[in-house]
């Protein structure tokens, strides 16, 4: 698929229809719409249990115009492995058809529950694209903390109060876990940078054509309900996450790390925290320490990425 520089180069035809029940201001559909357009040719979508799954396939309706399969939280990558293996056998034995496999999973289904099946599939080297859309908690079941929830975020199972100032632990670095499998291509994508996102999907499409999977994408998916913010601020929050260096937009292309969005003058993290209700308590003076820890985490992460980006290959 060709790379784009302007949004009007994106084709009009949608493969993901309106009428789904995702919340107003949800960050997931912009990515799904784009993925289905940018991944060329026939495709099969594998959907782990998540917001996207429950909201787009309320019986007897479906929002998908592509073949779609639902599976449990823990086995999205395993299902994709099976589909890919079956496709290969059919191609070998009789006139099969080649198609591309895209997996969508939430952060709960990827960071926590589905991690082992994802790891297995990445290690076996199946040719598929896995997109983890990370809304930083189990939003679908009522905002419980997940491995993807950032430090200090209030969720229903890590409520901010006298005992804890929101989630006491840092976010799990999923990209590092994926890179440890030496995948051909892994990238973080963000809705506030749509051309970058499109070009990464287009690249993934080309790599899938060349059987160079597995490919992994980590998508920053704003959730106005779970993050307790105004629905209109979804994309704004995503942009601030990049501009405060909290969410570096980078890709790992056969071991070479490239930072796609260079943030030379980061904005203060407080700008990101203050628009979200889940971080409101962090702005109180007694929680200063948590913000400092978060700042240190962001700086360490960014500096580490800069150092790794200097290497020819990290594999």
Q: How far is the CB of 261 from other proteins (least distance, A)?
A: 17
Nearer to other proteins, 173 or 243 (CB): 243
Question: Should residue 261 be labelled a site residue for other proteins when binding is judged by CB under 8 A?
Answer: no
User: d(Cα 155, Cα 283) in Å, to the nearest integer?
Assistant: 17
Nearer to other proteins, 117 or 140 (CB): 140
Backbone CA torsion sign across 170, 190, 133, 305 = negative
Question: Should residue 10 be labelled a site residue for other proteins when binding is judged by CB under 8 A?
Answer: yes
Question: Should residue 106 be labelled a site residue for other proteins when binding is judged by CB under 8 A?
Answer: no
* H or E segment and range at residue 70: strand 68-70
Q: Contact with other proteins (CB under 8 A): which of 1, 26, 137, 153?
A: 26
Q: Contact with other proteins (CB under 8 A): which of 34, 39, 215, 252?
A: 34
Nearer to other proteins, 57 or 243 (CB): 57
Q: Contact with other proteins (CB under 8 A): which of 54, 235, 308, 309?
A: 235
Strand-pairing partners, residue 256, are 253
Q: Which of 308, 208, 210 is nearest to 258 (CA)?
A: 308
User: d(Cα 219, Cα 213) in Å, to the nearest integer?
Assistant: 18
3-state class percentages of the chain: helix first, strand second, coil last, to nearest 5: 40, 15, 45
Nearer to other proteins, 45 or 257 (CB): 45
Q: How far is the CB of 135 from other proteins (least distance, A)?
A: 13
Burial class from Cβ neighbours inside 10 Å (0-12, 13-18, 19+) for residue 89 reads: exposed
Nearer to other proteins, 56 or 81 (CB): 56
Site string for other proteins, 64-103 (x = CB under 8 A): xxx-------------------------------------
Question: Should residue 230 be labelled a site residue for other proteins when binding is judged by CB under 8 A?
Answer: yes
Total chain residues near other proteins (CB under 8 A) = 43
- Specify whether the CB–CB gap between 186 and 175 falls below 8 A: yes
Q: How far is the CB of 24 from other proteins (least distance, A)?
A: 4
Within residues 181-200, the interface with other proteins by CB under 8 A covers: 191, 194
Beta carbons within 10 angstroms of residue 275's beta carbon: 16
Question: Should residue 54 be labelled a site residue for other proteins when binding is judged by CB under 8 A?
Answer: no
Q: Contact with other proteins (CB under 8 A): which of 2, 41, 42, 58?
A: 58
Sheet holding 250-253, edge to edge: 68-70, 43-47, 100-106, 129-134, 215-220, 185-189, 250-253, 256-259
Within residues 133-172, the interface with other proteins by CB under 8 A covers: none
Q: How far is the CB of 310 from other proteins (least distance, A)?
A: 33
Beta carbons within 10 angstroms of residue 189's beta carbon: 26
Nearer to other proteins, 12 or 265 (CB): 12
Q: Contact with other proteins (CB under 8 A): which of 35, 50, 52, 63?
A: 63
Give the residue carrying structure tokens 């289904």.
109
Label the pairing between strands 129-134 and 185-189: unpaired
Q: Which of 57, 14, 19 is nearest to 36 (CA)?
A: 14
* H or E segment and range at residue 100: strand 100-106
Q: Which tokens hold the place of 22?
A: 């995702």
Nearer to other proteins, 34 or 178 (CB): 34
Residues near other proteins (CB under 8 A) are 7-8, 10, 12, 14, 16-30, 33-34, 56-66, 191, 194, 224, 230-236
């Amino acid at each position: 698929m060709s790379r784009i520089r302007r949004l009007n180069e994106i084709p009009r035809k949608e493969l993901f229809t309106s009428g789904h029940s995702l919340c107003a201001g949800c960050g997931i559909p912009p990515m799904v719409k784009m993925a289905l357009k940018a991944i060329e040719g026939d495709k099969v979508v594998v959907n782990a249990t998540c917001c996207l799954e429950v909201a787009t396939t309320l019986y007897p309706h479906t929002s998908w115009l592509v073949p779609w399969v639902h599976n449990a939280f823990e086995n999205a990558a395993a299902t994709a492995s099976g589909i890919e293996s079956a496709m290969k056998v059919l191609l070998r034995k009789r006139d099969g058809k080649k198609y591309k496999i895209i997996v969508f999973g939430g952060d709960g289904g990827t960071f926590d529950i589905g991690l082992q099946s994802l790891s297995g599939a990445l290690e076996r080297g199946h040719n598929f694209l896995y997109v983890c859309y990370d809304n930083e908690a189990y939003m679908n079941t009522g905002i419980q903390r997940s491995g993807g929830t950032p430090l200090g975020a209030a969720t229903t199972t890590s409520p901010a109060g006298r005992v804890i100032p929101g989630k006491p632990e840092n976010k799990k670095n999923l990209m590092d876990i994926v890179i440890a499998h030496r995948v051909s291509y892994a990238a973080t994508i963000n809705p506030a940078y749509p051309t970058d996102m499109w070009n990464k999907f287009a690249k993934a499409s080309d790599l899938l054509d060349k059987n160079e999977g597995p490919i992994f994408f980590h998508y920053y998916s704003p959730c106005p309900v779970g993050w307790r913010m105004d629905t209109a601020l979804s994309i704004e929050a995503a942009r601030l996450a990049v501009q405060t260096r909290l969410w570096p937009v980078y890709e790992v292309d056969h071991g070479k790390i490239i930072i796609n969005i260079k943030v030379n003058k980061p904005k203060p993290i407080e700008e990101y925290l203050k628009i979200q209700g889940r971080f409101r308590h962090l702005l109180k003076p007694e929680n200063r320490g948590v913000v400092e820890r978060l700042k240190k985490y962001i700086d360490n992460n960014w500096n580490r990425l800069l150092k790794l980006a200097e290497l020819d290959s990290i594999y």
